[in-house]
A = this chain, B = another copy of it.
Amino acid sequence: MPNSALLTDLYQLTMLQAYCDQGMEDIAVFEFFVRKLPENRGYLVAAGLAQVLTYLEQLRFSAAEIDWLAGSGRFKPAMLDRLAALKFTGDVHAMPEGTVFFRDEPILRITAPLPEAQLIESRIINLLHFQTLVASKAARSVLIAPDKLLVDFGMRRAHGSEAALLAARASYLAGFTGSATVAAGMDFGIPLFGTMAHSFIQAHSCESQAFIRFAEANPDNVVFLIDTYDTEAGAQKVVDSAATLYAQGIKIKGVRLDSGDLAEHARKVRTILDRGGLNHATIFASGSIDEYELEQLLAQQAPIDGFGIGTHMDTSADAPYLDCAYKLQEYAGIPRRKRSEGKATWPGRKQVYRNYDNGLMCGDTVTVDNAPCPGQPLLQLVMQRGKTAPGQPMLIEAREYAASQLNSLPRPLRQLSHTPEYPVIVSAELQALTKIVDEQRIFKV
């Protein structure tokens, strides 16, 4: 990940100039949370923490960046010296990646000297927002089709290369089988899937020849794309090529459909393959598929074994952003609160407790950190004085944890739309603290 310290908003630096002038270096506590779930989201899946920890550990201004800032004429020499020496020295508490969470629940808390905690706001939101967005979207397909092969196909229409890589990671975390994005295989160890495009078929003078040449080149990965000209005719050519390939010891693993009425084509193709003795060959489908389409295909009992899910997931097309924020909750030991219309926050350091009933989540409480509360506390210390705590989960472990979290979701929350609201209680202690903060008139004016 590119992690320039300049991946921030200008106002962080103009504020730092004032903090620097005044020596405001006391400890600040910021929390990241989602204000409101998008329509058609009953829950969210926390993701992106691993990238946040790496970012914080690596946070430095390079000499070239300091020179460039100096050249802008906006900042004083003492401030530039402060930036040149800046490291992240704070603590981080967070919900582990894969944790299911709901509105108003902090999933990350930063405790650090004010300038450090301020500077990192933009990139922390940028990292947590996107992976949480995609993991939450991907989980919907995983819960709809738990027994299907689900592959991230979204690189091309993801918003840039980092989005492509992180969408591959977030969807794998949420339970996808793998991705088509090669760099995500190298960077994150995610299983890769992929065979051929229409251009491969078109570059050959006939479809059958293209199939055979592909199989000879990739004998362990023989999945043919059959809709370039006519899907059912393509399926028949697959059957016709099977004997030639079998003679070479090559087995056809499956076919891919990418256009038209996928359920109808899948049924016809299944019949053609079965009649041709290719009962073992699987059918994989792609092309503008999302969880809504997936639900329909499953309802129609389309004989499809796996799905490539791309654009809609990598852009979270039905909800392309979350209403999330990273807000100051305490400075110099005093709880703080923003009261802007429609955007007021709960003050102070908080913890979230979760209760279960028969293995299913049944209610959370957001309360003041260290207040007594029944349930399982969700925020854990993951970085101390700028060093990542040992024992952070590997991606594959986070994926298993996400699966167990999704398994604990009450059934109504799994619906793709019209989900009920999960009960999140603000504790009496937190409400009392809010009242105290509001009554300290010094913070009102």
Q: Which of chain A's residues 1-18 have a Cβ closer than 8 Å to chain B?
A: 1-4, 6-15, 17-18
A303-339 vs B: 1/0 string, CB under 8 Å?
0000000011001110011101001100100001111
Let me know if A180 is at the binding interface, CB within 8 A: yes
Residues of chain B with a CB closer than 8 A to A193's CB: 10
Q: Are B2 and A159 in contact (CB under 8 A)?
A: no
Question: Which of these, B157, B183, B315, contacts A7 with CB under 8 Å?
Answer: B183
Q: Are B203 and A336 in contact (CB under 8 A)?
A: yes
Residues of chain B with a CB closer than 8 A to A21's CB: 213, 216-217
The smallest C-beta distance from A263 to any residue of chain B, in angstroms, reads 14
Residues of chain B with a CB closer than 8 A to A327's CB: 198-199
Residues of chain A at the chain B interface (Cβ within 8 Å) = 1-4, 6-15, 17-22, 24, 28, 30, 65, 68, 72, 74, 114, 118, 121-123, 125-127, 129-130, 133, 153, 155-167, 180-183, 185-186, 192-200, 202-203, 205-208, 213-214, 216-218, 220-221, 227-231, 233, 237, 258-260, 311-312, 315-317, 320-322, 324, 327-328, 331, 336-343, 442-445
Q: Are A155 and B194 in contact (CB under 8 A)?
A: no
Q: Are A341 and B442 in contact (CB under 8 A)?
A: no
Q: Are B228 and A339 in contact (CB under 8 A)?
A: yes
Q: Are A14 and B160 in contact (CB under 8 A)?
A: no
Question: Which of these, B14, B163, B230, contacts A194 with CB under 8 Å?
Answer: B14
Q: Closest chain B residue to A201 by CB distance?
A: B338
The smallest C-beta distance from A125 to any residue of chain B, in angstroms, reads 4
Residues of chain B with a CB closer than 8 A to A65's CB: 186
Chosen A-B contacts, 19 in total, with CB atoms closer than 8 Å, are A7-B182, A14-B214, A14-B218, A18-B200, A18-B216, A28-B199, A130-B160, A158-B159, A160-B162, A161-B162, A162-B163, A198-B338, A198-B340, A199-B327, A202-B443, A205-B443, A228-B338, A229-B443, A259-B343
